[in-house]
Amino acid sequence: FAEMKDFAVDVTLDPDTANPFLILSADGKQVRLGDERQNLPDTPQRFDYCVNVLGKQSFSSGRFYYEVQVSGKTAWDLGVVREKINRKGRITWRPQYGFWTVRLRDENEYWAGAGPSVRLTLREKVEKVGVFVDYDEGLVSFYDVNSRSHIYSFTAQSFTEKLYPYFSPCDNEGGPKQPKHQHDKLSYDMLLGVHRELDQLTKEYDNADGDIKGSQPVIMMENYDNSGGINLVCESRGWNPEPDVLWLDREGAPLTAEETQIHRDTEGFSVKRRITVHDYSDSNRFYCRFQQTHHMMEAEVIINGKVFDAWKWIVVISFSACLFTVGWIVTAVIFRKKVLQRRMMEHELAEMKTFEEPQRKRVEDELARKKQYS
C-alpha cells in the first residue's frame, strides 16, 4: 500500500463533463450535489442524466494512484472509465461498458461494479478510498486508506483507450443531499485528496474559499532576557496563504515583536514570531493571533508574576555562583603559588646541602692533617 503512494498523481475535476446538478469547487478538488439544475451547455462530453463527473487527467500507460474523501455519504460511486463511454441517459456500470468502479448504497452496502455486481463485506465504514491502476497489467484496485486494507480489485483487464478518474456523489439515500456531518453552509460530498494526508483534506473541506487554516498556534517560553523579560515564541504550521501574525496584550492592543519567520514546505507555510514580555503585575496576559482574510486563530498565555521573580533569583544565584567560582579560582591560584614556592625553597636547600657537604668534609680532612703534624 505504501509503495502505491509512490505513483500518486494530481487529479482535478473536469467541469465540462459534470452533470448540471453537480457543483464543483473553484480548485476542482471537491464536488457536491446541488438542488437545482444549472443552465449549462449540453455537450457530448457532459453527463446529462447520471450525476457523474470525470477527472481532467487521462492515463494510457504505467501506474497511477489517487485518493477520494467520501465520509458522511450514504451513497457514492468512484473508479476509472475509458474515454469512449455512454454519457447520455442511463448507464450500466460494468467493465464491458468501460466502467471499473466500486459504490456505496443504503449507507452500508458496498458493491463492485463487476458483471454481475459483487457484494463486498467490509469491516468498517470507508471514509477515504485509494484508487490504484496498473494500465499495462490491466489492474484496478481499491483500498480503505484509513485502515490500509484492500477493498476490491479488477484483474486481467484489457485497456485499449485512455482511462479517466470517475466520480459520482449520488444522492444521500433516505436523507439530505448534503453529507450528514455538515461543517458549514458549503459542504462537499467528495474531496479529491490525491496522496495528501487526512488532516490536510479536512483543512480544505473546512475552507472551501481556498484558504487553508493551519494548526492551532502554540506559545512556548524560550528563555529569560537580560533585561528581566521572558522570550516567547508562537508557532503554527500548514497555512496557505501565509497568515499575518500579531502579538496582543490583554486589551487587544498590538505589541512590538520581532519579524515574522516564514518557511514553506509540502504542508504549506510554517510561521513563527517571537516577542519579549515584561512583568506588568496584574496584566500578564498575552495573545498570539494568526489571521487570514476569512480566518483567525489565537493562542493565549498567562504568566504568573512569580515567574518573572524567578529571573531575579536566577540572577542572584548566577552572580553568587560567579563570585564563588572567582573566589575558588583565586584561592586555587594562591595555593598553587605557595606550593611552588615551597618546592623551590626545598630544592634550593637540597642544592645547598649538596654543595656544603664536600666543603665540610674538606675542612675536617684539613684539620685532621694539621693534628697529625703537630
| Residue 194, Cβ density class (10 Å: 0-12 exposed, 13-18 middle, ≥19 buried) | middle
Every domain of the chain and the residues it spans = 4-206, 218-303, 323-374
pLDDT for 320 equals 62
* CA 364 – CA 362 distance, rounded (Å): 5
* Residues recorded for the chain: 374
Q: Among all chains, which residue has been given the C-alpha cell 657537604?
A: 357
- List, in order, residues 6 or more apart from 42 with CB less than 8 Å away: 48
Q: Where are the extended beta strands (E) located within 86-187?
A: 99-105, 109-112, 118-120, 128-134, 139-144, 149-154, 163-168
Reported as a single tens digit per residue, the pLDDT across 121-142 is 887 899 999 999 999 999 999 9
The domain covering 218-303 belongs, at the CATH homologous superfamily level, to: Immunoglobulins (2.60.40.10)
pLDDT for 204 equals 43
pLDDT for 267 equals 75
128, 134 in Cβ contact below 8 A? no
* CA 215 – CA 295 distance, rounded (Å): 12
pLDDT for 358 equals 65
Helix, coil or strand: residue 158: coil
132, 66 in Cβ contact below 8 A? no
DSSP 12-45: -B-GGGS-TTEEE-TTSSEEEE-SS-------TT
- List, in order, residues 6 or more apart from 52 with CB less than 8 Å away: 17, 18, 19, 77, 87, 91, 166, 167, 168
Residue 255 in grid coordinates: 505589541
* CA 232 – CA 281 distance, rounded (Å): 18
pLDDT for 139 equals 95
For 4-206, CATH number out of 1.20.58.740, 1.10.150.20, 3.40.190.10, 2.60.120.920 equals: 2.60.120.920
Radius of gyration of the chain (CA): 40
| Residue stretches of the chain with pLDDT short of 70 | 1, 172-190, 192-213, 251-252, 280-283, 293-296, 305-324, 326, 347-360, 363, 370, 373-374
- How many CB atoms neighbour CB 240 within 10 A? 19
pLDDT for 111 equals 94
Reported as a single tens digit per residue, the pLDDT across 263-280 is 887 778 889 999 988 776
Same fold: 4-206 with 218-303: no
Reported as a single tens digit per residue, the pLDDT across 103-116 is 999 888 999 998 78
